Homo-oligomer: A and B are copies of this chain.
Amino acid sequence: MSITREKIMELGETLIRTKGYNAFSYQDISSELGIKNAAIHYYFPSKENLGTSIVRTNIQRFEEMLENMHSRGFDEWQQLETFIKIYIKSHREQKLCIVGSLGPDFNTLNETTKTELVRMTEIILKWLADILTKGRDKKLFFFKEDPQNKAVVIFSSLVASLQLTRIIDRLDYKNIYQSITENLKP
């Protein structure tokens, strides 16, 4: 694959996760990469194409991570911690996650990008509910609530804690992430 294409996608993702979908333009990318905006249209005819591709790549990355964890035989705690580490890294890089940055712009997205964002969110929530269920069966996790609701609450906490630490940067995010998992312990 083209290296320019990859650079466009990488920078596009960074822009979505720092400024938001509706605040970034092809000019932001072209000036940063030292190319013309028509070059971006060559790879991604419309902004819709770029947005959709970025979400698809994120889905792929997530699925690769799942395969990787599975092949290493990670238990449910290890899997949850690996997922949370993505958010700690995002926080360090001062970026939101894709779901948290595109979610609020959902109504302004085109249909294909919406579809992929829905798919990504469903995949994450399904996986999270699954490991919560399995982890509870194996007596690794302890909680009373329905695993699906619990999954939404945990995922919500992760998504929005990135948004809140952006607003108030003195927040001690490591303890926040610990609080999220705290009530899964006996």
Contacts and interface: CB of A to CB of B under 8 A. Distances in A.
A167 interface: yes
Number of copies: 2
A172 B20 CA distance: 27
Contacts of A135: none
Interface residues of A, number: 50
A159 B152 contact: no
Nearest to A106: B166
A23 B103 contact: no
A49 B23 CA distance: 19
Contacts of A172: 148-149
30 contacts: A20-B105, A20-B108, A22-B22, A22-B23, A23-B105, A23-B108, A96-B104, A99-B163, A100-B104, A100-B163, A103-B163, A103-B164, A103-B166, A103-B167, A104-B105, A106-B163, A117-B167, A121-B168, A125-B168, A143-B183, A145-B178, A145-B179, A146-B175, A149-B178, A149-B179, A152-B161, A152-B171, A157-B160, A159-B160, A160-B160
